[in-house]
C-alpha cells in the first residue's frame, strides 16, 4: 500500500513545497510518478479534521465523532493536530497550502479524546481514551479505511483497544499509531501502537 501524492507542483505553491523537507527525505517526487493514492480512504483518528481547511477541501469524507466528552463533531477541531495530520497525508497545496503524500486519497475524520488536550486528570483521560478509541478503530475498519492513522497514544491500554486493533488488521486495514515524541529520552510504551507487538500482555487502565 502506497501513501503517495501529486505528480507535479503548481507554481504558486513552490515556496511551500520548498519548505516541506520531509517530502524530499521520503523521495516523494519519485513516489508521485507511481501513484497519487487515488481510491484509498485514510482514517485519521485524532482531534477532528477541519474540512474547510483550503488544502483539504474536497478531500474529507463524512466520518464520525467518538469524543463523547467534547462538544461539536468530527469537523470541530480542539487542538489542530488532526487537521495537521490530514494535511500531511492528503493536502493538495490549494490556497498556497501544504502538500501531502497522497493527494488522491480521501480522509475519513474520526474524532476521539487526546490525552495531551489538557482536559481532566491523566487517569480520567486514559479512561476516556480506552472508552472511545476502540469503537473508533472498529468504525474506521467497517467504513472501508485501508489505512488507519492513530497519531496518539496512552501508556495504559486495554483489552478492548487490543481487540479493536486486531479487528482492523483482520479486515485488511493497515494501522499506524504513535509511539511517543521523546524516544531519545526513553519514553514509555504507548497504546495502541504497543498492541501490535505485545497483544498478549496489555496493562489495564488506571482506576
Question: What CATH number does the domain containing 44 carry?
Answer: 3.40.50.200
Residue 140's CB is within 10 A of a number of other CB atoms, namely 29
- State the DSSP H helix or E strand holding residue 150, giving kind and residue range, or none if neither: strand 147-150
6: burial class by Cβ within 10 Å (0-12, 13-18, 19+)? buried
- Reported as a pLDDT band with limits 50, 70 and 90, residue 7 is very low
Q: Calculate mean pLDDT across residues 83-105.
A: 85
Q: Which of 42-51, 57-66, 125-134 has the lowest mean pLDDT?
A: 125-134
> What are 151-199's pLDDT values in tens digits?
988 888 899 999 999 999 999 999 998 877 665 666 778 889 888 544 4
Residue 6 domain-assigned (yes or no): no
pLDDT of 39: 92
Q: Calculate mean pLDDT across residues 46-75.
A: 91
Residue 24 domain-assigned (yes or no): yes
On the question of pLDDT at 99 being above 90, the answer is no
pLDDT of 174: 94
Tell me if residue 98 falls in helix, strand or coil. Answer: coil
Q: What percent of the chain has pLDDT over 70?
A: 78
Mean pLDDT of all residues belonging to the chain? 81
Select the more confidently predicted residue: 39 or 186.
39
What is the residue range of 158's domain? 11-196
On the question of pLDDT at 72 being above 70, the answer is yes
pLDDT of 198: 44
Residue 5 domain-assigned (yes or no): no
Residue 4 domain-assigned (yes or no): no
Residue 205 domain-assigned (yes or no): no
Select the more confidently predicted residue: 187 or 80.
80
- pTM of the complete model: 0.80
On the question of pLDDT at 9 being above 70, the answer is no
Residue 163 domain-assigned (yes or no): yes
On the question of pLDDT at 76 being above 90, the answer is yes
CA angle 63, 67, 92 (to 5 degrees): 40
On the question of pLDDT at 119 being above 70, the answer is no
Residue 165 domain-assigned (yes or no): yes
Q: How far apart are CA 170 and CA 200, in angstroms?
A: 17
Q: Calculate mean pLDDT across residues 115-135.
A: 79
**Region of residue 46 (phi > 0: left; psi between -120 and 50: alpha; otherwise: beta):** beta
pLDDT of 207: 39
On the question of pLDDT at 96 being above 70, the answer is no
Q: How many domains are contained in the chain?
A: 1
Residue 203 domain-assigned (yes or no): no
- The values of phi and psi at residue 11, to 5°, are -60, -35
Amino acid at each position: 500500500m502506497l501513501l503517495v501524492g501529486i505528480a507535479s507542483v503548481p507554481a504558486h505553491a513552490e515556496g511551500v513545497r520548498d519548505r516541506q523537507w520531509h517530502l524530499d527525505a521520503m523521495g516523494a517526487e519519485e513516489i508521485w510518478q507511481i501513484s497519487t493514492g487515488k481510491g484509498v480512504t485514510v482514517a485519521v483518528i485524532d482531534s477532528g479534521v477541519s474540512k474547510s481547511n483550503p488544502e483539504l477541501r474536497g478531500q474529507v469524507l463524512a466520518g464520525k465523532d467518538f469524543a463523547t466528552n467534547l462538544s461539536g463533531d468530527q469537523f470541530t477541531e480542539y487542538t489542530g493536530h488532526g487537521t495537521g495530520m490530514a494535511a500531511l497525508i492528503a493536502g493538495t497545496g490549494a490556497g498556497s497550502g501544504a502538500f501531502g503524500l497522497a493527494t488522491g486519497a480521501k480522509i475519513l475524520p474520526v474524532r476521539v479524546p487526546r490525552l495531551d488536550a489538557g482536559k481532566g486528570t491523566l487517569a480520567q483521560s486514559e479512561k476516556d481514551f480506552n472508552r472511545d478509541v476502540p469503537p473508533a478503530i472498529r468504525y474506521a475498519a467497517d467504513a472501508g479505511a485501508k489505512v488507519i492513522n492513530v497519531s496518539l497514544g496512552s501508556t495504559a491500554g486495554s483489552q478492548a483497544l487490543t481487540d479493536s486493533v486486531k479487528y482492523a488488521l483482520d479486515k485488511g486495514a493497515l494501522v499506524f499509531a504513535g509511539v511517543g515524541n521523546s524516544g531519545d529520552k526513553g519514553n514509555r510504551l504507548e497504546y495502541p501502537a504497543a498492541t501490535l507487538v505485545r497483544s498478549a500482555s496489555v496493562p489495564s487502565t488506571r482506576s
